[in-house]
Amino acid sequence: MRGKIKAVSISKEKGQKKKNVASVDLKEDFGIIGDAHGGGERQVSLLADESIDKMRDKGLSVGPGDFAENITTEGFDLLSLKIGSRIRIGKDVMLELSQIGKVCHTRCNIYYQAGDCVMPKEGIFARVLKGGTIKEGDEITTKMR
């Protein structure tokens, strides 16, 4: 399976939309350097642009980073992955899928605007097996486990 990175995003604090940046550096067993979630259990978050489209179809003006995801993918079926699947980004970075979806303890602004949010159901989380730099346009591939 192949796709590409549509955007990479970070935030200084948890619970905020993430800002799109030109590139990010990932550190093994940590996550993205400079992101509030680095070092936590959910080191890196990914969401497909196709999932964001579902919210756009509900009339919301949303884009990459608005769901607090670090990596927005395009043309890559995140929902077909299983826990333990390995994801390669670019030449160097290797992630391992550690969690599918999440529990939202508080409703976000998107939920209140649309009555729904895709991140809890369609977002995935991974840990960094091999670090490196990634940017918009990098190829993303996987080997299913």
If you count DSSP H runs as helices and E runs as strands, how many of each does the chain have, helices first?
A: 3, 11
Question: Could you tell me the two tokens for 34?
Answer: 């400079």
Alpha helix locations (H) across the chain?
49-56, 109-114, 119-122
Q: What is the pLDDT of residue 144?
A: 55
Q: What is the pLDDT of residue 41?
A: 82
Q: What is the pLDDT of residue 66?
A: 85
**CATH (one of 3.20.20.70, 2.40.33.20, 2.60.40.1930, 3.40.1390.10) for 2-143:** 2.40.33.20
Where is 139: in which H helix or E strand?
A: strand 139-143
Measured CA to CA in angstroms, residue 22 lies from 6, 90, 134, 137, 143 at distances of 11, 15, 9, 10, 27
Q: What is the pLDDT of residue 13?
A: 84
Q: What is the pLDDT of residue 78?
A: 94
- Mean pLDDT for each 10-residue chunk of the chain (145 residues)? 96 85 98 92 93 87 88 96 96 94 58 57 93 98 72
Residue 105: DSSP 8-state: S
